[in-house]
Structure 1
């Protein structure tokens, strides 16, 4: 009796990961490679991308390309032109960029204009520009996966600008979804809790209750492929392993 094995769900599909050299982006890159994707791992630092490439070597049937580029550059047309000339249209894209800001928490009343400007630039303006540059590069039957933190939904004392920018960038993606109105790639806003990553673990911040970046990559890959029970849900909450996936704010 001959047995047949189904091909990986992303075989033959090309997926861009913006922010691939970050902890979450690295894990998501691995998850997409394990599902057979041709992954274009994009980031601003060549050395960090080389480390991702070394870490991902032999991890799955997919193929990895690294691309030094800033998808949040103000010249979105130049970003699109460079990526299109090398890769054509993408079947999917993941946007995992951002900055936690100063390591020491500070209340709103103690936050300086300098920190405010930095957080708006790194956590909001960057996402606006990335969406503007990347969305037109995705095939109409493809998918855009965008990440925001759960601090978008709750008070976040001591790191209010993280919460404020998460809420704002979530709103950007939700508005983009409404503007596309089904006339472009499917869009997914993933609102996530703490994620297990290699950098976090190295700092001692780790919990088996958290989802791993690799698991998040597997989830994103199935969305890009249009598979599974969540493929028709543009807003999803993934807070921890026990909670699973929600489509409204978990109480």
Structure 2
């Protein structure tokens, strides 16, 4: 298929995991892909993406990106707001810094990026936010992270209402456990990480973790004309973990 031929799409956090898989999926269907990444991060040379250094919490940088695209007369047909952080702490151990850092990246960063990109959204553009099933389940130690993702689910509804007059819509894809580098960044040693992964896998009715490519396929569906009647909605992709 070439659903995105001659289209320009933006994927934040597009150098690894779900972001990279989604950027590659867009490119495979003909899109010109712009990916953002923290300064210093790189994408593989053979992917041919346009790389923009941008931290997900950098509102000034987001505005600069929007202004640059506007000055160049470029329009975005799809945006996948994927970049974010996942840090966990118990109610006892959680700090104000963790709260501010998590919401500053996952919620505040996403909101002001969309604000900055609004002038360069093409007619009929699609924005997909990367949520999480943590917003739907009561997992201990995930309160701050889960709340930041719940904020994105709310934003999909309110921002859709604001953007519909210009033909743009916002939806959420909420992954369950996925085999991405994120799990290697949780601060566990190898043995503990294996035990945690086994425990989580046992809670998934399908009996396995999802793949970044499976999440990417849902993002592309929500970004394509075929889903034009889907607005302000969350699609959960978790192997049944939060549903059964």
When normalised by structure 1's length, the TM-score is 0.77
The answer (yes or no) to whether the contact 2:132–2:174 under 8 Å persists in 1 is yes
CA contact (8 A) 1:19 1:96 kept: yes
Deviation at 1:37, TM superposition (A): 1.1
CA distance in 1, matches of 2:152, 2:76: 22
CA contact (8 A) 2:175 2:215 kept: no
RMSD: 2.8
Of stretches 171-180 and 190-199 in structure 1, the one that deviates more from structure 2 is 190-199
Distance in 2 separating the partners of 1:140 and 1:69: 25
Q: Which structure carries more helix by proportion?
A: 2
In the TM superposition, residue 126 of structure 1 has moved relative to its aligned partner by: 1.4
Cα contact 1:135–1:144 (8 A) shared by 2: no
**Aligned to 1:74, which of 59, 63, 74?**
59
Does 1:232 pair with 2:232? no
Q: Which residues of 2 match residues 152-191 of structure 1 at below 5 A?
A: 152-191=135-174
Aligned match of 2:187 = none
Pair 1:91 & 2:77 matched: yes
What residue is the counterpart of 2:38 in the other structure?
44
Residues in 2 aligned to 1:177 and 1:19: alpha-carbon distance in whole angstroms: 22
Tell me the equivalent position of 1:34. Answer: 28
Q: Is the 8 A contact 2:35 2:49 kept in 1?
A: yes
Q: For the residues of structure 2 that align with 1:212 and 1:91, how far apart are their CA atoms? A: 25
1:140 and 2:123 correspond:
yes
Distance in 2, matches of 1:233 and 1:210, equals 26
Aligned residues of 2:134 and 2:142 also touching (Cα < 8 A): no
Unmatched segments (≥5 aa) in structure 2: 185-189, 202-206
Paired with 2:78 and 2:219, the residues of 1 have a C-alpha distance of 9
